[in-house]
Amino acid sequence: MTRSSFVLALVVLATGSQTFKSAIAADVAPQRPNIVYILSDDLGYGDLNCYNAESKIPTPNLDRLAKQGIRFTDAHAPASVCTPTRYSILTGRYCWRSRLPSSVLGIWGKPLIPSTRLTVPSLLKQQGYATACLGKWHLGWDWATKDGKPPAIGPDRLSNVDFTKTIGGGPTTVGFDVFFGVDLPNFPPYCYIDQDRTVGIPSEASRPEFNRPGPMLPGWQWVEIMPEITRRAVSYVASRKERPEPFFLYLPLTAPHYPVVPAKEFAGKSRAGEYGDFVAQVDDTVGRVMESLEKNGLADNTLIVFTSDNGPEISNEVKPGVYDRVEQYQHASMGPLRGAKRDAWEAGHRVPFIARWPGKIPAGAASAETICHVDLMATVAAIVGTKLPDNAGEDSYNILPALVGEKLEKPIRPATVHHSGKGHFAIRRGDWVLIDAATGDDNKEPDWFKKLRGYEPHNQPGELYDLRQDLAERKNLYADQPQVVSELKELLKTYKSEGRSTPGAPQPNDLPDRSKK
């Protein structure tokens, strides 16, 4: 397809006119590229060289991916913690509309995505795609138990879960043909899951210092998770070489999330400690997937995306944590931004976002367009030439024009809602961002870091920043701009009450009273 016909297809899709049907009849078919979506876990905006020239971590493969495609500098996870972002990526809907108003799913958490909800993989399956999820899930399962009681961990650090039974409500119930991976690396059960069964029986009691106690497969090694996920991803790509149907590979990595366990060959690869070495391993995984695409002749017809689920971890379980790395290694995982994972400040949710699609995305491009992970659903729909129903992708905007480098007359997203680990809301419109809480800090920044960055104290009921003038969010303008505060509060209220932030019929939130909070 020529670029002109490709743009025509986008235009008529956006207008919803009859011309689109005519274009298809005239053999101007929608695109059907393979789609590989790689999601790192707790990677910061300042960790990659292509985002931070002072980074102490070598990331040659991701830097190469950026040179071959486009790098977004204003891309955001919809939440600053794990589960909500994963929910939004796959559904095109903010997670605070679901039954999870804050934090993440706990151990043995129930499935968060109903099997009746349209997801990115189920949408693509309808369009003839093969779909696979390899890596971390953390969106809930239905675990069978031996005694009929809810799953629990006993004083012996084992559980009443019956690991001989199939597990309901997982990836294969929401559109994935294939799943292999873990629920998450720091929650039991400590074992792999293949489709809807554990690989072996977690029969050994475990209480690792950095994880939650619970049942573990004998001989389980956390250091092997990333290499196994990588091998599976490379093998899956190779298996698609001779297949006629396109594929969607969702690759949610377990790194650099704790436990920070880089493989032996990455020890000392960075100048930012074990965390930096683990990020170097993430870069290697991306490189191996890129190599497999190229080796098997699939790279030219593959849209590959790399990003992170939220900002970098501050917890003491990561040693040294994000602020300690600044002091010990002069490496700022948050880059020039304020905050970390869980925060409503920028570093909690502004993340690297790199995309490559040869012949469609211009090489070496950069974009300052504000985008959000929740936009995958509408973008995929545009790529394959289908229209979302009103009850799907309620918060998802089509960012394809920005991806392919079109000149935009206005922002794609009128506004974007951010959500902290504690459930605090922030809303961004243009250069203004309002944090609708007394502080965007869920973590408590060290005093020495506040002084280093020049953050000013305040005593206002909320925070307002002009990011064009103050990307580091040093000066709170809440009291100085009451009109802006009022407008953003009203817009946030509307987004909550209407059950969507995109044009369309109002939709119910899973918890109707959420709009009052």
Q: In this model, does residue 28 exceed pLDDT 60? A: no
The strand pairing partners of 365, in sequence order, are 70
Axis-axis angle for helices 376-384, 82-91 (nearest 10): 20
- pLDDT tens digit sequence for 454-468: 998 889 999 999 999
Give residue 77's pLDDT: 98
Q: In this model, does residue 11 exceed pLDDT 80? A: no
- pLDDT tens digit sequence for 261-319: 999 999 999 999 999 999 999 999 999 999 999 999 999 999 999 999 999 998 767 77
Mean pLDDT of the chain: 92
Give residue 31's pLDDT: 76
Give residue 12's pLDDT: 35
Q: In this model, does residue 380 exceed pLDDT 80? A: yes
Would you give the distance in Å from CA 479 to the centre of its chain? Answer: 33
Axis-axis angle for helices 376-384, 3-15 (nearest 10): 120
Give residue 2's pLDDT: 40
Q: In this model, does residue 16 exceed pLDDT 70? A: no
Closest CA to 134 of 313, 31, 285: 285
Q: In this model, does residue 166 exceed pLDDT 70? A: yes
Q: In this model, does residue 185 exceed pLDDT 70? A: yes
Q: In this model, does residue 23 exceed pLDDT 50? A: no
Tell me, letter by letter, the H, E, C secondary structure of 85-125.
Answer: HHHHHHHCCCHHHCCCCCCCCCCCCCCCCCCCCCCHHHHHH
Q: Which tokens in the block code for residue 328?
A: 């010990």
In contact, 59 and 49? CB cutoff 8 Å: yes
- State the Cα torsion 8-13-17-21 to the nearest 10°: 80
Angle at 326 between CA 256 and CA 264, to 5 degrees: 35
- pLDDT tens digit sequence for 429-456: 999 999 999 988 878 889 999 999 999 8
Closest CA to 50 of 349, 273, 325, 306: 306
> What percent of the chain stands above pLDDT 90?
88
| Sign (positive or negative) of CA dihedral 147, 153, 156, 159 | positive
Query: Which letter, b or e, does each residue of 202-221 get, where b requires 16 or more Cβ atoms within 10 Å of its Cβ?
Result: beebbeeebbbbbbbbeebe
The strand pairing partners of 505, in sequence order, are none
What does the pLDDT average to over 224-251? 97
- pLDDT tens digit sequence for 464-509: 999 999 999 999 999 999 999 999 999 999 999 999 999 999 999 9
Please return the burial class of 155, using the count of CB atoms within 10 Å of its CB with bins 0-12, 13-18 and 19+. Answer: exposed
Residue 457 preceded by cis peptide, ω within 30: no
Give residue 17's pLDDT: 35
Q: Residue length, the chain?
A: 517
- State the Cα torsion 187-144-117-308 to the nearest 10°: 10
Q: In this model, does residue 178 exceed pLDDT 80? A: yes
| pLDDT band, very low/low/confident/very high, at 512 (cuts 50, 70, 90) | low
| pLDDT band, very low/low/confident/very high, at 13 (cuts 50, 70, 90) | very low
| pLDDT band, very low/low/confident/very high, at 67 (cuts 50, 70, 90) | very high
Q: In this model, does residue 208 exceed pLDDT 50? A: yes
d(CA 418, CA 428): 8
pTM of the model as a whole: 0.93
Pairing verdict, β 70-72 and 353-356:
antiparallel
